[in-house]
Amino acid sequence: MNSHMEKNVAISSSDAEKIIPRAEFRVFGHGIIERVKEKMWEANATLFKARKMPNETYFLSVHTDAVNVKVRDGLLDIKTKIGETPEGYEIFQPRGKFQFPVKRDELITILQYLEVPMELDQESYTLDAFIAMAKASRELVPVSVEKMRYGFTVNGIISEYAQVWLNGALIETACCESENYGGIKTTVAALGIAELPNTNYLKAAKQVVGM
């Protein structure tokens, strides 16, 4: 076990900020997978193994669309939007990971990112407790997310298409991400998704739950 885990922080904020953020172009809708599958072989895609992801919980705040807070396998991951490329691709910077149960000070930090103040009177909080608090709040909405992902690359650009269930509602998504912005532009055009609106997970989930 590393020192960060011993302190209950899987990746500290200072370590997370050293990670070079990738820009991402992502689309959601129906019929996207069929469209991408038709185009990807023409683009000489290199296919990777399909992955059924563990169930996740996203925490949506009414106050911000720039903070991605999700939990997978008891590990809470925070990323914040730090800008966009000239092409409009979004750039999210990792801000740290926390292992549940979290201490009160750690939950205060998480809630500060979500811009939602809460009265915290316990020394530590389990994931179930945090989900219950979010459900009781008028400012937070926890959303259950399941993903079946199919990853591939096109000329070194990391890409995927996936089936996603947001609170049980099925929707399709596809994305390209890289530090190579020109490569993203070429790839999204080759995959036939360039004209679709760039929509991150936060915005898609908010649309599904009516936020």
In 3-state terms, what secondary structure has residue 122?
A: coil
What's the CA angle centered on 150, arms 162 and 20, to 5 degrees? 90
Q: How far is residue 103's CA from residue 170's CA, in Å, rounded to a whole number?
A: 35
**Residue 101: cis peptide before it, omega within 30 degrees of 0:** yes
Does 3-209 carry CATH code 3.40.50.300?
A: no
**pTM as predicted:** 0.86
pLDDT in 10s for each residue of the chain, 211 residues: 333 333 444 555 555 455 567 899 999 999 999 999 999 999 999 999 899 999 999 999 999 999 999 999 999 999 999 999 999 999 999 999 999 999 999 999 999 999 999 999 999 999 999 999 999 999 999 999 999 999 999 999 999 999 999 999 999 999 999 999 999 999 999 999 999 999 999 999 999 999 8
CA–CA separation, 17 and 9 (whole Å): 14
Task: Fill in the amino acid letter for 91.
Answer: I
Handedness of CA 95, 109, 199, 135 (dihedral sign): positive
Q: How high is the pLDDT of residue 5?
A: 35
Q: Are 67 and 80 spatial neighbours (Cβ–Cβ below 8 Å)?
A: yes
Phi, psi of 207 (to 5 degrees): -65, -40
